[in-house]
Amino acid sequence: MLERDEDILHAAEEWKKAGHGVAIATVVETWGSAPRPAGSNLVINDEGTFLGSVSGGCVEGAVVTEALDIIESGKPKLLEFGVADETAFNVGLSCGGTIRVFVEKVA
């Protein structure tokens, strides 16, 4: 079961209070099949701990990796992930689609 938005934001707040760098990733756009709708969030701290979901499969790992760089640089980034129907299952997606995920450091 996925955590509620309030839980995700509470975790971000608690990590910041504890002195961690924190980033938040938000699904801003989807086309075709997407496991999580626009507005879905994933929060990541500077130790690579995360809560929430923006997609599942290998996409989440890629977002966490990018978020660690964004925490360090402070520069937000728009990520795009897409996959054809015939290869979607191999990367952990149910079928073909594209998602855009905006990742930014929490100030």
Q: Determine the pLDDT at residue 2.
A: 47
Q: Determine the pLDDT at residue 56.
A: 72
Going residue by residue through the chain, which has 107 residues, state the pLDDT in tens, using 9 for 90 and above.
345 767 898 999 999 999 999 999 999 999 877 788 899 999 999 999 999 999 877 789 999 999 999 999 999 999 998 766 555 556 555 566 789 999 999 98
Domain residue spans of the chain? 5-105
Which residues, including other chains, have CB under 8 Å from residue 74's CB and lie 6 or more apart? 105
52, two tokens = 């929430």
Q: Are strands 22-32 and 97-105 parallel, antiparallel or unpaired?
A: antiparallel
Q: Are strands 22-32 and 41-45 parallel, antiparallel or unpaired?
A: antiparallel
